[in-house]
Amino acid sequence: MNASLQRKLSLALLGTIAGVALVAGVLSFAAAYDEAQELQDDVLRQVATLTQGRGTNAAVPALADTHFADHDDASRLYVQVLGQDNPRSLTIDQGGPLPVPVTTPDGLHTMMLSGESFRVLVKTSAGGMRIVVAQEADFRDDIAQGSALRTVLPFAVLVPILLFVVVSLVRRMFRPVVRLAEAIDRRGEGDLQPIADHNLPAEVRPFVRAINRLLGRVAQTLDGQRRFVADAAHELRSPLTALSLQAERLQQAPMSELARERLAVLRQGIERGRALLEQLLSLARAQQRAEPPAAGVSMQAVFRRVLQDLLPLAEARQIDVGVAGEGDARVPASELDLLTLVKNLVDNAIRYTPAGGRVDLSVESRPEGVLLRIQDSGPGIAPAERERVFDPFYRTPGNEQAGSGLGLAIVQAIAQRLGARVSLDDADPAVPAGLLVRVLLPAHGEAPLR
């Protein structure tokens, strides 16, 4: 499994910093520990030198028991003349002399004396007197370890902070790339605008520019396909119009009933072909970008024009169609786009609603945009089919209504270009029955939704 570059870089930096800090800490601890031990050995040497300067009597340890009862024995320095016995035969804990062998050579030694470890310095003065200066090794080790730990303490405090800062910096450096991925992910499938690269790291810009070139080639290919569809549909309009006129003239001629029946079927086929061409032209126009007008388009005005065009169809099918409420909103979009979008939705609602049903249109201004609602009392669309009905030429199983399957594809194409969102739901979730179409359009003066 491939990990992300950010994760790999973070782990590599964390591992490197932690490894270097560990090695540096061990070396610093060892150096500080040896330095502390050396300093304590120097103390023993200095005490021996001072003792030699004060004479023989000064080398004999104090024999008062109370002195050792009130002080920490571990920190005591033992100073004595090698080979000199304590007349009171006191133990070491009571202030007696250390049992250092008289054969001990001059210099520093670590010895076990009376069951305890001592650091012992033996030194012979110019007059031949051998001085012993000693201290418990455990006490010296504790002091050396404490000194070494204080040396390593900054590593223990600063390294975790450094690791946190490194992870934060890596995340911050990759944040433009993450924002770029989120921006591309929010784009609609028809949004082929170039990706802005001015805020991206220099290492990522060649990749983004390559993607922009690819988007440009894809846009050119799609534009060529759209022009082909539009040109083909436009070229086919004239022959179909001529066929329709010839069929009308032929209907006026005397003919048998069988011929009239077949002529009626022919005219229906010609009308379906003309309707398909008109929808293909509408789909081609919907997929082409157009600059929105400076002033927003009134949705109530769009509703009125759509109802004027479709009212005869609604009356013929005995459908009650109208606008619910008097609220209005202005949308920064082409009036033709909005007319085409609403007309296709209302036309579908009228065609699929049984006789005696109703179709309601409404508009509502919201903080996130302008919400259009087209609700009918028809059979609705099954949840499993609500994604596929936006595909061109797709028709739901069991659909007996005449049509080309391009209505909702045109609606989706216009919505994507306007930055709108289309959703389908049950008009009455309790039954469920009917179809509720919601179209969330960007409000006037706002940037298109992505």
Contact (CB, 8 A) for 415 and 439: yes
Pick from 233, 324, 335, 220: nearest CA to 279:
233
H or E element that contains 394: none
Instruction: List pLDDT tens digits, range 69-122.
Output: 444 555 667 777 776 654 444 444 545 677 888 778 888 887 887 777 787 888
Instruction: List pLDDT tens digits, range 394-416.
Output: 777 655 565 567 778 888 888 88
pLDDT at 329 over 60: yes
pLDDT confidence bin for 66, thresholds 50/70/90: very low
Beta bridge partners of 174: none
Mean pLDDT of 346-360: 87
Instruction: Provide the pLDDT for residue 287.
Output: 61
Pairing of strands 369-376, 358-366: antiparallel
Q: How far apart are the C-alpha atoms of 379 and 390, rounded to whole Å?
A: 17
Q: How far apart are the C-alpha atoms of 30 and 39, rounded to whole Å?
A: 14
- The model carries a pTM of 0.47
Mean pLDDT of 349-363: 88
The residue written with tokens 């491939």 in the block is: 2
Q: How far apart are the C-alpha atoms of 73 and 14, rounded to whole Å?
A: 46
pLDDT confidence bin for 444, thresholds 50/70/90: low
Instruction: Provide the pLDDT for residue 229.
Output: 67
pLDDT confidence bin for 55, thresholds 50/70/90: low
Mean pLDDT of 143-155: 75
Mean pLDDT of 252-267: 82
Pick from 82, 168, 164, 155: nearest CA to 125:
82
> For residues 404 and 441, which has the higher predicted lDDT (pLDDT)?
441
The residue written with tokens 């609609």 in the block is: 188
Q: How far apart are the C-alpha atoms of 102 and 280, rounded to whole Å?
A: 116
Instruction: Provide the pLDDT for residue 318.
Output: 87
Contact (CB, 8 A) for 263 and 250: yes
Instruction: Provide the pLDDT for residue 91.
Output: 45
Q: How far apart are the C-alpha atoms of 377 and 358, rounded to whole Å?
A: 6
Count of C-beta atoms within a 10 Å radius of residue 108:
13
> For residues 306 and 178, which has the higher predicted lDDT (pLDDT)?
306
- DSSP-derived letter for residue 449 is P
Mean pLDDT of 383-395: 79
Instruction: Provide the pLDDT for residue 258.
Output: 85
Question: What SS3 class is residue 142?
Answer: helix
Ranges of H-type helices in 55-136:
65-69
**Structure tokens, 158:** 């600063």
Q: How far apart are the C-alpha atoms of 33 and 299, rounded to whole Å?
A: 83
Q: In the sheet that 107-113 helps form, which strands lie side by side, from edge to edge?
A: 77-81, 130-136, 116-124, 107-113
Instruction: Provide the pLDDT for residue 56.
Output: 47
Contact (CB, 8 A) for 290 and 337: yes
pLDDT confidence bin for 54, thresholds 50/70/90: low
Q: How far apart are the C-alpha atoms of 409 and 284, rounded to whole Å?
A: 11
Instruction: List pLDDT tens digits, range 275-324.
Output: 777 777 766 666 665 555 556 788 888 889 988 888 888 888 888 888 88
Instruction: List pLDDT tens digits, range 266-277.
Output: 877 877 777 777
pLDDT confidence bin for 449, thresholds 50/70/90: very low
pLDDT confidence bin for 378, thresholds 50/70/90: confident
Instruction: Provide the pLDDT for residue 217.
Output: 87
200's CB contacts (< 8 A; 6+ apart) are 176, 177, 180, 208
**Structure tokens, 257:** 């009933």
Tell me the average pLDDT of the chain.
Answer: 76
> For residues 405 and 421, which has the higher predicted lDDT (pLDDT)?
421
Q: Rank 187-191, 297-301, 325-329 by mean pLDDT and report only the highest.
A: 297-301
Instruction: List pLDDT tens digits, range 13-24.
Output: 877 887 887 887
- Between 2-6, 90-94, 338-342, 363-367, the lowest mean confidence (pLDDT) is in 90-94
